[in-house]
Amino acid sequence: MKLTGALASRIGEAIRPHRLTQAAAAQRLFIDQPKLSRLRHFYLTNFPTGRLMQFLTLLARDVELAIKPTPRSRRTSRLRVIEPA
């Protein structure tokens, strides 16, 4: 849930500067307005992670995914979203 929530948040941030209506933003993402409304309100059950990443690319955002071994200094693996520099 952490990843999908972070992606949904980034989608909202990507839409905001364009000052698009929900209908116009939905059209850009090739979905209908009610689905965009659910996305914007974080009802993410029917939005797979890959689809959310595709939405970001449609909004002119690069999405990078890095998978690497957990360092020995840490006992558990983690998932994190990194803010751009």
Task: Kindly report, residue by residue over 23-81, the tens digit of the pLDDT.
Answer: 999 999 999 999 999 999 999 999 999 999 999 999 999 988 888 899 989 989 888 77
Confirm if 8 and 47 have CB atoms less than 8 A apart: yes
Domains along the sequence of the chain with CATH = 1-85 (1.10.260.40)
Distance CA 73, CA 63 (A): 28
**∠ CA 11-16-21, rounded to 5°:** 100
Query: Comparing 3 with 42, which gets the higher pLDDT?
Result: 42
Distance of CA 50 to the CA centre of its chain: 9
Measuring CA to CA, which residue among 21, 28, 81 is closest to residue 55?
28
Q: What average pLDDT does this structure show over 6-34? A: 93
pLDDT band at 85 (very low <50, low <70, confident <90, very high): low
pLDDT at 1: 61
